[in-house]
């Protein structure tokens, strides 16, 4: 699936000087949940009636537009709204973590229709993990055909597949192969994205918002949204803050092979590897003990403080309006409080004005973000033009 080029969500206003391709008409209809009448579309686009109707016919035939109830009560024949047909369209969202995969089936209105969670070990070969995940996905679908699928991965994802995974936890995986296998087995387009970046997209509340979402689980990653646009960077590595060096981590070996990374001291992996916590077998067990084990609580608090130290630089650089901290470790109140305090202590005051530092809605935001990204990609004007030309050609 191609990278979505649009911003996240529409402004709700018809764009000025709108081009008149069918794909652009669909984009306009998607920006308004109430839809538009034919008269509205004629006025907004300045198109000739015959051309507009021809484009709409193609969208109707492709099942992308439907005619809904009358827009407003009036005498005579009331105008009917044309809407983007998001009915019965499902997106499969798969979040692959270090030890678990979360699967959610969502409608395009972001309702979660079905969910499953399966243990995986991403240190194992890609084929083995995928077979397991696909087996559960097909059970979850119960014969329903998704319009697309999105996969969140705990590694940098370069849309052009030029940045390798060598330094990541998925060094032994191949993204191109992953996408091709999933597309073949699920019989729909598949989009791959970094998990923290997907979470950031799922956290967007306002189309022009600037926010940073940070996921702290086994590893640490972040997703950056600047005035509604997702920042991937030149090669998909934007937001990979786990490998920023901090003085407190000097001499500590990180999984990436370097010394001194933030993740070497503040990640779930680092917490779990501490000798004093050897009794805890999994990160979940360690996290659950935070309320009763004072040593765990102290370690989690220190990890939050260290993340805050690194994030103060992010806040100063990007001036986000909201920082949403999620992930198994990130949502712990002690972690969040210590992180918040360190940012307030370290960042320059102007970048702190009106800054919200909150817990991310971890349970659903990654799936919602993946669903949004898949929708933006599937219904991008260029893709719709190609789809319609394939249908007639």
Q: Which residues are near Zn ion by CB under 5 A?
A: 243, 254, 256, 258, 261
DSSP code for 243: G
Nearer to Zn ion, 243 or 269 (CB): 243
Taking the least distance from each CB to Zn ion, the nearer of 89 and 255 is 255
Q: Return the percent helix, strand and coil in the chain, to nearest 5.
A: 40, 20, 40
In terms of CB distance, is 106 or 246 closer to Zn ion? 246
Residues in Cβ contact with 260 at an 8 Å cutoff, skipping those fewer than 6 apart: 245, 246, 247, 249, 250, 251, 252, 254
Contacting residues for 180 by C-beta, under 8 A, at least 6 apart: none
Instruction: Output 98 or 258, the one with its CB closest to Zn ion.
Output: 258
Least distance from C-beta 222 to Zn ion, angstroms? 14
Q: What strands, in cross-sheet order, belong to the sheet with 322-326?
A: 229-231, 220-226, 211-216, 322-326, 356-359
Q: How far apart are CA 97 and CA 317, in angstroms?
A: 29
**Nearest distance, CB of residue 281 and Zn ion, angstroms:** 24
Q: How far is the CB of 307 from Zn ion (least distance, A)?
A: 14
Handedness of CA 246, 300, 117, 202 (dihedral sign): negative
Q: Where are the alpha helices (DSSP H) in the chain?
A: 22-30, 38-45, 49-61, 126-141, 175-186, 195-203, 263-266, 268-273, 283-288, 294-318, 333-346, 349-352, 365-378, 381-392
Which C-beta is closer to Zn ion: that of 117 or that of 253? 253
CB of 161 to Zn ion, least distance (A): 22
Q: Which is nearer to Zn ion, 270 or 287 (CB)?
A: 270
Q: What minimum distance in Å lies between the beta carbon of 260 and Zn ion?
A: 8
Least spacing, CB of residue 98 vs Zn ion, in Å: 15
């Amino acid at each position: 699936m191609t990278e979505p080029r649009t911003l996240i969500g529409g402004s709700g206003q018809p764009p000025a000087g709108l081009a008149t391709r069918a794909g652009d008409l669909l984009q306009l209809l998607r920006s308004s949940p109430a839809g538009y009448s034919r008269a509205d579309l004629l006025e907004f686009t300045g198109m000739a009636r015959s051309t507009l109707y021809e484009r709409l016919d193609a969208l109707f035939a492709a099942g992308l537009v439907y005619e809904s109830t009358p827009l407003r009560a009036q005498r005579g024949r009331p105008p009917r709204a044309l809407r983007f047909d998001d009915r019965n369209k499902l997106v499969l969202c798969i979040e692959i973590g270090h030890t678990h995969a979360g699967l959610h089936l969502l409608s395009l209105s972001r309702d979660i229709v079905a969910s499953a969670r399966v243990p995986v070990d991403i240190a194992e070969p890609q084929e083995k993990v995928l077979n397991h995940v696909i087996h559960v996905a097909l059970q979850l679908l119960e014969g329903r055909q998704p319009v697309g699928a999105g996969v969140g991965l705990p590694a940098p994802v370069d849309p052009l597949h030029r940045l390798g995974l060598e330094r990541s936890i998925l060094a032994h995986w191949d993204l191109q192969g992953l996408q091709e296998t999933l597309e073949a087995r699920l019989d729909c387009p598949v989009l791959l994205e970094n998990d923290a970046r997907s979470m950031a997209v799922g956290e967007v509340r306002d189309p022009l918002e600037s926010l940073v979402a940070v996921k702290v689980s086994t590893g640490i990653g972040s997703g950056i949204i600047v005035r509604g646009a997702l920042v991937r960077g030149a090669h998909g590595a934007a937001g990979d803050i786990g490998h920023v060096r901090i003085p407190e981590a000097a001499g500590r070996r990180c999984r990436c092979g370097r010394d001194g990374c933030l993740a070497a001291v503040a990640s779930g992996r680092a917490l779990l590897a501490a000798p004093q916590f050897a009794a805890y077998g999994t990160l979940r067990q360690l996290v659950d003990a935070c309320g009763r084990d004072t040593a765990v609580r102290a370690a989690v608090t220190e990890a939050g403080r260290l993340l805050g130290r690194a994030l103060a630089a992010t806040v100063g650089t990007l001036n986000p309006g909201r920082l949403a901290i999620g992930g198994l470790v990130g949502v712990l109140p002690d972690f969040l409080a210590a992180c918040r305090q360190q940012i307030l202590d370290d960042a320059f005051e102007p970048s702190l004005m009106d800054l919200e530092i909150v817990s991310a809605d971890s349970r659903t935001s990654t799936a919602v973000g993946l669903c949004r990204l898949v929708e933006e990609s599937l219904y991008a004007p260029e893709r719709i033009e190609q789809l319609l030309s394939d249908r007639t050609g």
